[in-house]
Amino acid sequence: MPSKKQLEKTSKFLSFVLRHKPEAIGIVLDANGWVPLSELIEKASSEIALTTDLIEQVVKTSEKQRFALSTDGDRIRANQGHSVQVDLELVPKIPPAILFHGTATRFLDSIQEEGLRPGQRHHVHLSADRETAIAVGQRHGKVVVLEIASGEMQAKGHRFFQSENGVWLTNRVPAKFMRRLGEE
């Protein structure tokens, strides 16, 4: 069984090449973000030692379920968070009435002015629960959680998707559909 440190290092590497820079190791994602495991392992060999078993462990044990293996186990892709163009074949879905977004307090002024935008990614990422939003926001500094009126947004024509790992995605969240938790 790989160590926790090895699993974390592998997960970070996979996030980098499967979400942002496949060209860094010379792989090409297909239109839906998939790459053959054998090709990934071979092309990554100059950067990191990967095995099918190690990759399967990362996929199975990752709390955030960032990756998916194809049903035949021959291909892998990231579930969301891409900055490269891929079509994850997501189907619009009716969201819960309220979703959450965790961020750092230093971004709050800009968010309150412009709303939530995807930045370099394809979608804004939202959580179904406050605890997950807190965990996400803490990665960026002192955390603030925003409550998103997703049901109201959807009723006004905004589309929502849910990735394989449960993360809610939308193109943007206008400021009028959010409020800082704790505010009335």
Average pLDDT, the chain: 91
> Is the predicted pLDDT of residue 150 greater than 90, yes or no?
yes
Pick 4-78's CATH classification: 3.40.50.2300, 3.50.50.60, 1.10.10.970, 1.10.443.10.
1.10.10.970
Quote the CA–CA distance of 97 and 114 in Å, as a whole number: 22
- Sorted by sequence, the CB contacts under 8 Å of residue 153 that are 6+ apart come out as 95, 160, 170, 173, 174, 177
Alpha helices (H) along 16-50: 37-44
CATH class label, 99-180: alpha beta
- Residues carrying CATH 1.10.10.970, the chain: 4-78
The pTM is what? 0.70
Q: What are phi and psi of 125, to 5 degrees?
A: -100, 130
Confidence of residue 183 (pLDDT cuts 50, 70, 90): very low
- Per DSSP, 71 falls in state T
* pLDDT score at 182: 57
- Sorted by sequence, the CB contacts under 8 Å of residue 121 that are 6+ apart come out as 81, 82, 83
Least confidently predicted of 8-12, 44-48, 136-140: 136-140
- Residues carrying CATH 3.20.170.30, the chain: 99-180
> Is the predicted pLDDT of residue 165 greater than 50, yes or no?
yes
* pLDDT score at 163: 86
> Is the predicted pLDDT of residue 33 greater than 90, yes or no?
yes
Query: Which of the two residues, 150 and 123, has the higher pLDDT score?
Result: 150
